[in-house]
Amino acid sequence: MQFSMIFEAQLTDPTPERERQVLLDSVDQAVYGEEMGFDRVWAVEHHGLERYAHMTASEIFLTWVAAKTSTIRIGHGVVCMPFNYNHPVRVAERVGMLDALSGGRLDVGGGRGSTRMEMGMYGVSAADTYPQMIESLGFLANAWRKDEVDWHTETLDVGPAKILPRPVQTPHPPLYMACSKRDTVKLAAELGVGALVMGFAGPEEVKEMYDLYHATVRTRTPERLVSTDTNDKFVALCPTIVLDDPAKALKIGARGQRFFAEAIAHWYGNAPAPREDTEDDDNIAALAKDKEDLVARLNEANIPARPQDTGAFNAEHAYGTADQAIEYVQRLADIGVDEVMCLIQMGTVPQEACMETIKQWGEKVIPHFRNGASA
């Protein structure tokens, strides 16, 4: 099993000064992650989603991290791949450059960038997001197989042309896809790319998605694969705050997750902006109440209350001591998860709690699984 961290660059009170500081803090966390034995850092790409994600130019963030480290892998989790966000040729050029400069440490995930705000900013049609993401992954997988790429479809006409520079990893860096629901997990398996499972629902939902992913891998057909070099890796999100004081860790984690959940609801569902002054609230109770309210609204509309919709309001994650985190990760290990993606940097979580969590994982949690103590 491998271990990683993912960065959204979330923050409250988003002044320019605080915005710059959260980016610098995220770099410090990533660099410390290498020291503490993490295998990889992932960075999202979002646009215009104030508070929720200030990681708009993740290729620059990842380059900055790569320059300050030597072994930890760096990952796009993910690139928005519809063509108006990022033309496939430009994606390939950036991938080649970053893989070359980092010495072959890059992983690349594809995503749709599907909020109304983002699609509106870039003139992206919702109907185009899936087919263009799939085609962009396919183009990226074929950009360097020959001396020149020669790609001609109804939507993309490129070549013959050279895509420069060439990556260190051949024929291309490992490919992934963002997955937040069963349909996308199945699609990732059909395409032959790794699944970045981003939901908060917990191990039970992760197991269902894991089983679906591998059942699809076993039955897929070659014509849907975007590359002959498949990547069947399953990565699962793990929200976590680990401190010596378990009550404090839970309090900080639940508050950060509430901010995260409200930010998701704001940008994906037109709910109010996330509340910031919640330090003295019972945030666990608030998450439970928000979940009950959402389920009630869905029931009124005769819509099933699925874990992918309600998962963000579940606070039963790796919040507590290192031993509690080990117990949680063991449940993911028993499922067969290949990589645990730690979500530590959330909107209200102070930098010192992030750094202490990374330390606790590096000194206690990761060694437990590295040393074969896990089944």
Q: Total domain count for the chain?
A: 1
Q: Which domain holds residue 61?
A: 2-246+318-370
What percentage of the chain has pLDDT greater than the value 90?
Answer: 85
Q: Angle 126-142/88-102 helices, nearest 10 degrees? A: 50
Question: Is 322 domain-assigned?
Answer: yes
At residue 330, the pLDDT reads: 98
* pLDDT confidence band for 375 (50 / 70 / 90): very low
* Residue 112 included in any domain: yes
Q: What local confidence, expressed as pLDDT, does residue 308 receive? A: 64
- Residue 205: pLDDT band (50, 70, 90) is very high
- Domain assignment present for residue 297? The answer is no
Relative orientation angle of helices 246-269 and 283-300, to the nearest 10 degrees: 30
Examine residue 349 and state whether it is found in any structural domain, yes or no.
yes
211 Cβ contact partners less than 8 Å away, ≥ 6 residues apart: none
Residue 256 in any domain: the answer is: no
pLDDT at 298: 67
Q: Is the pLDDT score of 294 beyond 80?
A: no
Q: Lowest-confidence range among 49-53, 244-248, 268-272?
A: 268-272
* pLDDT band with cut points at 50, 70 and 90 for residue 109: very high
- Predicted confidence band at 344 (pLDDT cuts at 50, 70, 90)? very high
CATH of the domain at 183: 3.20.20.30
Assess whether pLDDT exceeds 50 at residue 256: yes
Count CB atoms within 10 A of the CB of residue 363.
12
**Model confidence at 211: pLDDT above 90:** yes
In a domain, 267, yes or no: no
Closest by Cα among 176, 203, 173, 198 to 187: 176
pLDDT value, residue 345: 98
143 SS3 class: coil
pTM equals 0.95
Is there a domain that residue 269 lies in? no
Mean pLDDT within 172-187:
96
From 26-30, 63-67, 95-99, 279-283, the region with the lowest mean pLDDT? 279-283
The pLDDT score that the predictor gives to residue 220 is: 97
Whether residue 82 is contained in a domain is answered as: yes
- The answer for residues whose C-beta is within 8 angstroms of residue 210's C-beta and 6 or more apart is 234, 236, 335, 336, 337
Reply yes or no on whether the pLDDT at 311 is more than 80.
no
Question: What is the model's pLDDT at position 373?
Answer: 53
Regarding predicted confidence, which is higher, 233 or 289?
Answer: 233
Q: 40-43 and 106-111: which strand pairing?
A: unpaired
Q: How confident is the model at residue 199 (pLDDT cuts 50, 70, 90)?
A: confident
